[in-house]
Amino acid sequence: MSDATGEPLAEGIELVASGIPELDNLLNGGYVKGRTYLVQGVSGTGKSLLGQHFLRTGLDVDETVVYIHGEESKHDILVNAAQLGVGIRDADFLDIGPGTDFFAEDKSYNLVEATEVESERFTKDIKQVIEDVDPDRILIDPITQLQYVEQDQYQYRKRLQSLIRFLRDRQVTTVATRTLNREGTAETRHDDFESISDGVINLYLDEHERRIAVSKHRGLGQVDGTHGLEIRKDGIEVYAQIIPEHDNRTFDPELIPTGYDALDDLLGGGLERGTVSFISGPTGIGKSTTGAQILSGIAEHGGTALGYLFEESIDQFVHRSEALGLPITEMQAQGSLQLTETEPLVRSAEEFGQHVLNQAEEYAPDAVFIDGLSGYKISLQGGDQRLARRLHGLTRVLKNRGIAVIVTDEADRLTGIQKATSTNTSYIADNIVFLSYVEVDGELDRAIGIVKKRLGDFDNRFHRFSIVSGEGLVIEGPFDNVRGIMRGTSASRTHDGHTQTTDRP
């Protein structure tokens, strides 16, 4: 037997499925049979649900499972789990929480400490259910129910170690949950469960974004970093970071024509397979139109492409492109173009990346079009730096598969080129096509130029272009007598034909 990486497992290690296949991948194969795992996070992160998936998977393979609970009633647990498609009605349940008689009656212990009585009761009840049921899996939700009844850290650690050894001797795989406060620390006055657990899974909830990380896994190790987590109608979904693999693939710089000779001439023949190209420029300049022109050219030459829209609907993109003479509807009907519209703040960057890779596996496209980077940052969950890193990982994987990636990016200046990309992601790009406005003779022209190309020759001059109804992108001649386009300067011709430039703020 081997782990998720294909490496053989250490002698004596048997894997147990967590109930979430993507989590098993993060655990390098799954839980280890007979060991104890801690799932912790603030309230509402999905700790109980993750444990319930673990029990449900055991029931699916005819294992015996026990749910030890202390905060919710059995009825509430079953109802809530069923709402998310996790049926655990066949599990054995042990309620170690205080019953209604605790509130209704005035219980007191005169001869011994209350904590000693409660602790002994918990120990006896847990031992009894384990001996009676002989479970393969146990969920203790939450483990803090045991912590509340111990007088000091020494007693708690001693009892907890005893419980873990008892469970391990019987080869019971155990998942325990623990609630952290908003500062990320345990809510109880003493806590040692993290240090003596065989594995620790951390769940996070920050501004409605859910994340998961495995910080510890004895014997097998784990995939480090934080990963996307969503709670949907069928329970928990985990989306791991996309990490490019270093393979021995031979780079093949085959050119993909854009379908427009003038643009191909600027690019030295087209875009290479396995490269990332940014189309940058200010709002309204024609970035999406340029991208649509390239998609049309790819389809015209018998290729296929995937397009992901972050800043407009599919209907709007299609209508606008068709008005410019680009046959997007025909391309969709022929299957040469698949468009996906991304709703704001519904997906993590990891989920989006996995969706792209799944579609790339299904359709084997020549190119992937992401329109645009600003919408990507707004629509997906997470901070700018993490989103940029996830985009880097996604594009590297696509490049390794020989797929050309095209990304539109909005510049924050109307004229000139202050920086190549809006979020300092130019290191991702092999090619940068920059669109800008330039003032000539008191009129505003559009300029297009290649400011970066890693492979091959290209035309290093800026050319005039326009967006024409029924024709789309129309590239005209170069600005031979105009200077200062990249600095954001105005340019005008004098009466004798010379060019006079004036710096603009």
Q: Which domains does the chain have, with CATH numbers?
A: 15-239 (3.40.50.300), 255-436 (3.40.50.300)
Nearest CA among 143, 135, 123 for reference residue 33: 135
Nearest CA among 124, 199, 135 for reference residue 163: 124
Q: Identify whether the C-beta of residue 338 lies closer than 8 Å to the C-beta of residue 307.
A: yes
CB atoms within 10 A of CB 456: 13
Q: 116 is written with which tokens?
A: 């000693």
Q: Which residue has the tokens 């009585």?
A: 117
Nearest CA among 297, 307, 360, 304 for reference residue 327: 297
Instruction: Please state, in angstroms and rounded to a whole number, the distance separating the CA atoms of residues 447 and 213.
Output: 46
One-letter identity of residue 323: A
Q: 95 is written with which tokens?
A: 């309620």
Q: Identify whether the C-beta of residue 356 lies closer than 8 Å to the C-beta of residue 393.
A: no
Q: 244 is written with which tokens?
A: 């490019």
One-letter identity of residue 83: Q
Q: Identify whether the C-beta of residue 83 lies closer than 8 Å to the C-beta of residue 48.
A: no
Instruction: Please state, in angstroms and rounded to a whole number, the distance separating the CA atoms of residues 168 and 130.
Output: 12
CA distances from residue 53 to 56, 182, 193 in whole angstroms, order as listed: 5, 25, 22
Q: Identify whether the C-beta of residue 324 lies closer than 8 Å to the C-beta of residue 316.
A: no
Instruction: Please state, in angstroms and rounded to a whole number, the distance separating the CA atoms of residues 390 and 393.
Output: 5
Going residue by residue through the chain, which has 505 residues, state the pLDDT in tens, using 9 for 90 and above.
556 555 556 667 899 999 999 999 999 999 999 999 999 999 999 999 999 999 999 999 999 999 999 889 999 999 999 999 999 999 999 998 765 444 445 544 443 344 554 556 777 888 999 999 999 999 999 988 776 655 567 777 787 888 899 999 999 999 999 999 876 555 554 456 888 899 999 999 987 789 999 999 999 999 999 999 999 999 999 999 998 876 656 666 789 999 899 999 999 999 999 999 999 999 899 999 999 999 999 999 999 999 999 989 999 999 999 999 999 999 999 999 999 998 877 889 999 999 999 999 999 999 999 998 888 888 888 888 888 889 999 999 999 999 999 999 988 766 655 555 666 677 889 999 999 888 777 778 899 999 999 988 999 899 999 999 999 999 998 987 767 676 655 555 444 444 444 443 3
Burial class (CB in 10 A: 0-12, 13-18, 19+), 393: middle
CA distances from residue 198 to 89, 185, 206 in whole angstroms, order as listed: 28, 19, 27
Phi and psi at residue 55, to the nearest 5°: -70, -45
Q: What beta strand segments (E) does 167-226 contain?
A: 173-179, 199-206, 209-217
Phi and psi at residue 65, to the nearest 5°: -130, 150
Q: List, as one string, the DSSP characters of 237-285.
A: EEE---------PPP---EE--S-HHHHHHTTSSEETT-EEEEEESTTS
Phi and psi at residue 259, to the nearest 5°: 85, 0
Q: Which residue has the tokens 């030890």?
A: 68
Question: Alpha-carbon Rg of the chain, whole angstroms?
Answer: 30
Q: Which residue has the tokens 């609907």?
A: 313
Map residue 445 onto helix, strand or coil: strand
CA distances from residue 46 to 192, 272, 345 in whole angstroms, order as listed: 22, 44, 19
Longest dimension (CA), the chain: 110
Burial class (CB in 10 A: 0-12, 13-18, 19+), 337: buried
Instruction: Please state, in angstroms and rounded to a whole number, the distance separating the CA atoms of residues 22 and 184.
Output: 24
Q: Identify whether the C-beta of residue 141 lies closer than 8 Å to the C-beta of residue 48.
A: yes
Specify the pTM: 0.84
Map residue 94 onto helix, strand or coil: strand
**What are the b/e assignments for 265-295, b being 16+ CB within 10 Å?**
ebbbebbbbbbbbbbbbbeebbbbbbbbbbb
Map residue 501 onto helix, strand or coil: strand
